Amino acid sequence: MRTVWLVAAASGCFVASPVMRFGGGKSAQESQQSLLLKETPPTLVADGEWKGEVKSAKIRVWADDDFRAQNIRWEQAFKAELDYANEVLAAQFGVRLEAEFHAWDRHAPEASLADDLAALEQQDRGDGALSVVGLTSSLSLVSATFEQLGLASLPGRHLMLRGYADVEERKLFERLFHDLGLDERASLYTARRRHKTAALLLHELGHNLGAQHQPDPNTLMNKSYSDHAASFDAASRDVILATLDQRLARTPRVTGASHPTLAITIDAAGRRIVGGNPLDDATLDGLLKLSFDDDRDTAVVIKRAPNAPQGAVVDVARRAKAAGLQRVSVVAGE
């Protein structure tokens, strides 16, 4: 039987507690070995194979004072996480990320991730980079919620990641698998750390590239981390691919049968414009419903003008999803 991870609020933070039931007739060691196999995460995979040229894109990585203090070889560790994430990005989206590392002169251990993200945007505007990554200290707990682990602008070029809760994870493994050998515990710990850190990076990059949270618990874009998540869902793949095509200035790939596209421009005043005409809420919702009724695979492309309010972009994306349209992407408009 699979472990159930309960996440509960306590004193303003989250704690994770495993609930285990051991099978009848099994020894404690046999039960723990069975549990160990079930808790080993899958290999991250790419659904589909990229046929064209794989492009390189730069990301800049800023590690704050507390993160560097907790992670002495932080550059090597992040590069290993990025290498794993690149296996998915290259095979599925035709892009390979190359990191440029910087020490970030920032010490704010009590800051929220939202505060850290705002500070990162001030530190580095993101010129010439696909994304700017900020690294900050880990929480002293084992969190299953991506919001506790990372935060990203959607869409945008900035994301924050917390370090891995190494000490707490090891303590948890000691309690759960105390009858198993050190090598067995170490093997599971390494596999879970590799999966969790790469999944977090891919999740937040997905937000930067326009993908929103999805209800499927085993997609990388679900709001909570799952040790069974192995790939992006189809809707998120379409959005990420469309945004990458635009940012990398490459010809969009045809991923399936031809479907209509609804282009909605958001201007600097936050107006929603289709065919040169501003739309009020009722008209926009009606148009989205008609598009869904005509072809539920209609692609909604939100063209965001410079200085267009983020709230207006998110609102249009939300309305499109509410109408049943899942292929929603955000691109830079004129």
Residue with the larger pLDDT of the pair 196 and 64:
64
Structure tokens at 220: 């990388």
pLDDT of residue 275: 75
Contact 199, 44 (CB under 8 A): yes
pLDDT of residue 333: 67
**Farthest CA pair distance, the chain:** 71
Residue with the larger pLDDT of the pair 161 and 283:
161
- The pLDDT tens digits for 117-153 are 999 999 999 999 999 999 998 765 444 445 578 999 9
- For residues 170-178, average pLDDT: 62
- Separation in Å, CA 184 to CA 11, 37, 139: 34, 10, 25
Structure tokens at 262: 């609804």
Residue with the larger pLDDT of the pair 170 and 212:
212
| Least confident window among 136-145, 155-164, 239-248 | 136-145
- The pLDDT tens digits for 316-326 are 988 999 999 88
Contact 48, 175 (CB under 8 A): no
Confidence of residue 160 (pLDDT cuts 50, 70, 90): very high
46 residue type, one letter: A
| Least confident window among 32-41, 189-198, 204-213 | 32-41
Predicted confidence (pLDDT) at residue 231 exceeds the cutoff of 90: no
Return the CATH number of the domain spanning residue range 4-233: 3.40.390.10
Contact 141, 171 (CB under 8 A): no
For residue 115, how many C-alpha atoms fall within 13 Å in the half-sphere facing its CB? 8
Pairing of strands 55-63, 95-103: parallel
Between CA 54 and CA 256 the distance in angstroms is 20
- For residues 239-244, average pLDDT: 88
Structure tokens at 32: 């723990």
pLDDT of residue 270: 92
pLDDT of residue 182: 66
| Least confident window among 20-29, 42-51, 87-96, 178-187 | 20-29
Pairing of strands 277-279, 272-274: antiparallel
Predicted confidence (pLDDT) at residue 27 exceeds the cutoff of 90: no
SS (H, E, C) 228-253: CCCECCHHHHHHHHHHHHHHCCCCCC
- DSSP string across 200-225: HHHHHHHHHTT----S-TTBTTSSB-
Between CA 300 and CA 235 the distance in angstroms is 11
- For residues 179-205, average pLDDT: 79
Q: What values do phi and psi take at 169, rounded to 5?
A: -65, -45
The mean predicted confidence, pLDDT, of the chain is: 79
Degrees to nearest 5, angle at CA 191 with 189 and 193: 65
- For residues 3-22, average pLDDT: 30
Q: Which long-range contacts (CB under 8 A, 24 or more apart) does 215-222 make?
A: 222/146
Q: Which residues pair with 150 in a beta bridge?
A: 161
Q: Which residues pair with 101 in a beta bridge?
A: 61
pLDDT of residue 6: 28
3-state secondary structure of 2: coil
Between CA 189 and CA 106 the distance in angstroms is 30
Q: 114, exposed or middle or buried, with CB in 10 Å at 0-12, 13-18, 19+? A: exposed
Predicted confidence (pLDDT) at residue 308 exceeds the cutoff of 60: yes
Degrees to nearest 5, angle at CA 233 with 314 and 115: 40
pLDDT of residue 3: 30
- For residues 236-264, average pLDDT: 77
Q: Which DSSP state fits 182?
A: H
Q: Which helix (H) or strand (E) holds 327?
A: none
Predicted confidence (pLDDT) at residue 214 exceeds the cutoff of 80: yes
Chain region(s) in the chain for CATH 3.40.390.10: 4-233
Chain region(s) in the chain for CATH 3.30.420.270: 256-332
Confidence of residue 12 (pLDDT cuts 50, 70, 90): very low
- The pLDDT tens digits for 56-113 are 999 999 999 999 998 889 999 999 999 999 999 998 899 999 999 999 999 998 888 9
pLDDT of residue 328: 84
Among the four given CATH numbers 3.30.930.10, 3.40.640.10, 3.30.450.20, 3.30.420.270, the one describing domain 256-332: 3.30.420.270
CB atoms within 10 A of CB 333: 17
